[in-house]
Amino acid sequence: MEEAAVKEVDKIKLRRWRKRGFYSETVLVKLLQKNGYSAVRVPVSNPSLNPLPDIIARKGEHSYAFEVKNASYYAYFPKQQIDKLFRFLNELIPGSNENKHAVVAAHLGKKWLFREISWADWERDKIPDKVRILKRDRGNLNL
The set of catalytic residues is 45
User: Who's near 123: CB < 8 A, 6+ residues apart?
Assistant: none
The beta strand positions in 9-139, using DSSP E, are 38-41, 55-59, 62-71, 74-78, 100-108, 111-117, 130-134
SS3 (DSSP) at 127: coil
How many CB atoms neighbour CB 36 within 10 A? 10
What is the residue type of 120? A
